[in-house]
Amino acid sequence: QAGGLVAVPTDTVYGVACLAQDPGAVRSIYSLKGRNGSKPLAICLGDVDHIYRYCHVNVPDELLQDLLPGPVTLVLKRSEELNKDLNPFTSLVGVRIPNHPFIRELARACSGPLALTSANISSQASTLTVLEFQDLWPQLSLIIDGGPVGDVQSPECRLGSTVVDLSVSGKFSIIRPGCALTSTVEILRQKYGLIPESS
């Protein structure tokens, strides 16, 4: 609530979260990451039905339920409810509901969405244990050590969530292949008949 940054375990890699509706906290997350301001932050919610408050959804609810919670970030058109200072350069926002009980409870306990990014300096490898991002500790208000996340031996884990743009009706576009590409594309194409947007 005070605008701090908190490191949290997710179902893929360790993340850093703050309140997405707090402009100061959002600025802090960018400086922590050493990230340029035109790279968007995702929001993290506790439950699928919360998505409708912050996004304009143009896919069936069942599709959301099939992919979430899980290691997928869905990019949708943002609604007016979302903090204007969060990704002001785009009308879209990525939404994440990790399949991890702790972060879902945390998201439910907060009044608005969390802004969520991976716990690493931009362009460095994602982290699967808290020791792997020790260099960030001094800038964090709290570190939740959930033990190793994902599979430390599997390079796929470090890819983070699969990011898919669903903002164009009837189509999908893969922004980042991530760790759940095959299963995600299968659901979108086979079950819902979405077609890949030509890049």
pLDDT digits (tens, 9 = 90+) for 96-105: 999 999 999 9
Cis omega (within 30 of 0) for bond into 69: yes
pLDDT digits (tens, 9 = 90+) for 58-72: 999 999 999 999 999
State the alpha helices, DSSP H only, in 22-180: 23-33, 51-54, 61-67, 101-109
Predicted local distance difference test score (pLDDT) of residue 157 = 73
Closest by Cα among 64, 163, 47 to 110: 47
Q: Model pTM greater than 0.85?
A: yes
CA distances from 33 to 26, 27, 74, 101, 102 (A): 11, 10, 22, 25, 23
Q: For 86-90, 104-108, 149-153, 186-190, which range has the lowest pLDDT when averaged over its residues?
A: 149-153
State the alpha helices, DSSP H only, in the chain: 23-33, 51-54, 61-67, 101-109, 181-186
| pLDDT band (50, 70, 90) for residue 37 | confident
CATH of domain 6-196: 3.90.870.10
Query: Domain coordinates of the chain in residue numbers?
Result: 6-196
Mean pLDDT score, 92-99: 97
